[in-house]
Homo-oligomer: A and B are copies of this chain.
Amino acid sequence: MTDQSVVARRREQRRERQAAAAIQSITQPINRLPVYELVDEAALHQIHNASLTILEEIGIDFYDEEALAILAAHGAVVKESTVFLDRKLIERSVRSAPAQFTQLARTPERSVQIGGNHVTFAPVYGPPYVYDLARGRREATLTDFENFVKLTYLSPYLHHSGGTVVEPTDLPTHTRHLDMLYSHLRYSDKPFMGSVTSGPNAQDSVRMAELVFGAETIRQQPALLSLINISSPRRLDDRMLAALKVYAKARQAMIITPFILSGAMAPAAVGGTLAQLNAEALAGISLAQMIEPGTPVVYGAFQTNVDLQSGAPVFGSPESQIALIVSAQLARMHGLPFRSGGMFTSSKIADAQGAYESVQVMLPAILARVNFVLHAAGWLEGGLTAGYEKFVLDCELLGMYHKFLQGLDLSSEGLAMESIRSVPPGGHHLGTDHTLRNFRTAFYRASLFDYNSAEQWQAEGSQDAQQRAHTYYQKLLQEYVPPPLDPAVDRALREFMAQRKSAIQPEF
C-alpha cells in the first residue's frame, strides 16, 4: 500500500465511522404487551397429543444415514428412513434447548436476544426475482442482494441482516453462498444467517463466522442463525439434514421450520395442520439436541393455506391467523423461542392486496409474542419476488410495531391530567406544555404515508404509496455508507473466499 492509499483509506474509515454513528441507534424492542392466546391449555394439550401420535405411530422421514444412526442411538425406532419418536424421548431432547439466547453481531451493540419477550425483525429471504416500479420484475443479481443488505442496515426497525435476501442469480450456484456471506459482513454489521444449501456450504458459513468472531467465541454464543426447513409432510431432506448436522456440531443457532400450506402439505383444517406442524418441528429440534444438547434452536411455524380452487398459496387468511397464534402457544408450552409472521402476500406489487395481507399476518404475530420474524420486509408474490417499494413500506409498519410493543403509559405524564385541566371545552391541546414536552415522541410518524389534504396530495402529483416508496428507497441507497470493517478481517475473509472458490467444484 502506498502512503497516499493509506491516507485515503484512513479518510474512508473515518467517514464510515461517522456514518455508522449517525444511523439511528438500534434498540431491539421488548414486547411489553400481554400475549394473545386463542385456545386454553386443554386444547393445547389436545393438539400436542395428536402430534405425539404422529411422532409415535405415523413417523417422520429423515433422508440422511448419520441422522438415522444418531436418532436410533438415542432410542428412536427407525424403520428404513422412517423414525418413530416416543413422547419421553421428545420431552427429554427438547428440554435441553435454551429458552432464550444471544446471537452475536460484529458490532456488539447490535447483537440480538432471541426468545423471551424480545422481538427480532429480519428481511425477506429467498426470492429469485426482484421488483421495482421502474424496471418491473426481473431476476435478482448480486447488486440486488447488496442493495437489500444495505437497505436492511439502514432501517432502524430491522435488527437482523437475514440470509438469502435475494438469490444472486448472476453468480455461479456452487460458490454464491460465499459472496452472500461476505456481503452481509461487508455491507452491514447486524447479525446474519448461514447457508443451508449443503453441508460444505454450512461449513463455509461457520468458517467465515470464525474468521470474524473467533472460533472459541462462537462456540459460547452463536454468530449464525440458519433456516432449516422441514419438507412437509413429515420429511427432512438430505440437504437440510447435512446443514443441520454442521450447525448443531458447531453450536450455531437454527430455526427449525415446517413449511406448510394447509390443503396441500397438511390437511385442509387448522387443527390437523397444527398437530402436524408441532410434530415436525419437535422432530427436527430433537435431532439437533441429540447431536449437541443446548444448541440454540427456534421453533418455527411457516403455515398458511392453499386456495383450493387453484392450489396457489394464500397469505393473511383467517385460517393462517388462527394457526399462527396457536403455534406460538405451542412454542411457549415447550419453552422455546418462536419464529413466525412476515409481511406475506400473493400480490406481485405493493398494492392494497399486498398491504392488507401483510398486516393480516404481522399483527397476529406481534400479539402472539413472536420472537423472530423472517420476511418482515420486502416479500411479494408468495416469496418469489423481493420488492424494493414493498420493503421500505413494510418498514413503516415495523416502526409502528416498535411503538405498539411499548404498551400503555399510565404515569402522570401518560395521564396528562394537567393538560386536560388546562384546555377549555372545545379548545385544543396543540400548544399545551404537555404537548410541547412530548412533541417528538408522542406519536410514531410514517414518513412514507401521506397525511396531507387531497388538494395538496394532487398538487404533489397524486402519487400512491408505491410511487413515494420508489423515490425513497433510491435516496436511501444513494446515501448509504458502509459500517467500518477491520481491514485485516476483510483481507482474511477475501482470502478464504478466493481459496474456497478455487477449491469448490460445480455440481453438474
A residues near B (Cβ < 8 Å) are: 33-34, 36-39, 43, 46-47, 50, 53-54, 58-61, 82, 129, 137, 231, 233-235, 262-272, 275-276, 305-314, 316-319, 321-322, 326, 346-360, 363-364, 367, 381, 384-385, 390, 393, 396-397, 400-404, 407-411, 413-417, 419-421, 423-430, 432, 434-435, 438-439, 442-446, 448-454, 457, 462, 464-466, 469
Contacts and interface: CB of A to CB of B under 8 A. Distances in A.
B276 A400 contact: no
A271 B414 contact: yes
A307 B451 CA distance: 8
A403 B319 contact: yes
Contact of A60 (B59, B326, B425): B425
Nearest to A423: B233
A256 B442 CA distance: 27
A432 B276 CA distance: 16
Contact of A429 (B264, B360, B390): B264
Given A61-B425, A61-B426, A351-B465, A318 B266 contact: no
Contacts of A428: 233, 264-265
Contacts of A409: 269-271
A262 B430 CA distance: 9
A464 B385 CA distance: 16
Can you list the 4 inter-chain pairs with the closest CB atoms, starting with the nearest? A272-B416, A267-B416, A355-B355, A318-B404
A434 B317 CA distance: 20
A393 B356 contact: yes
Copies in the complex: 2
Contacts of A434: 267-269, 272
A53 B233 CA distance: 60
Given A272-B419, A464-B349, A319 B442 contact: yes
A318 B356 contact: no
Contacts of A352: 350-352, 354-355, 390, 393, 464-466, 469
Contact of A420 (B275, B348, B397): B275
Contacts of A442: 262-263, 268-269, 305, 308, 319
A297 B242 CA distance: 64
Nearest to A236: B425
A263 B430 contact: yes
A178 to B, nearest CB: 30
Contacts of A231: 426
24 contacts: A33-B38, A39-B410, A43-B410, A58-B420, A231-B426, A233-B420, A233-B425, A233-B428, A234-B426, A308-B430, A308-B439, A312-B453, A313-B451, A316-B400, A318-B403, A322-B408, A348-B450, A348-B462, A351-B464, A352-B390, A352-B393, A353-B355, A356-B397, A360-B363
A407 B450 CA distance: 35
Contact of A36 (B36, B263, B444): B36
A404 B318 CA distance: 5
Contacts of A267: 416, 419-420, 429, 432, 434-435
A137 B272 contact: no
Among A54, A269, A427: residue with most chain B CB under 10 A: A269
A355 to B, nearest CB: 4
A410 B465 contact: no
A466 B465 CA distance: 13
A266 B454 CA distance: 25
Contacts of A233: 420, 423-429
A407 B272 CA distance: 14
A120 B314 CA distance: 26
Nearest to A137: B454
A366 to B, nearest CB: 10
A414 B420 CA distance: 52
Contacts of A34: 36-38
Nearest to A60: B425
Given A233-B425, A353-B450, A420-B266, A307 B410 contact: no
A186 to B, nearest CB: 31
Contacts of A275: 415, 417, 420
Contacts of A404: 318, 321-322
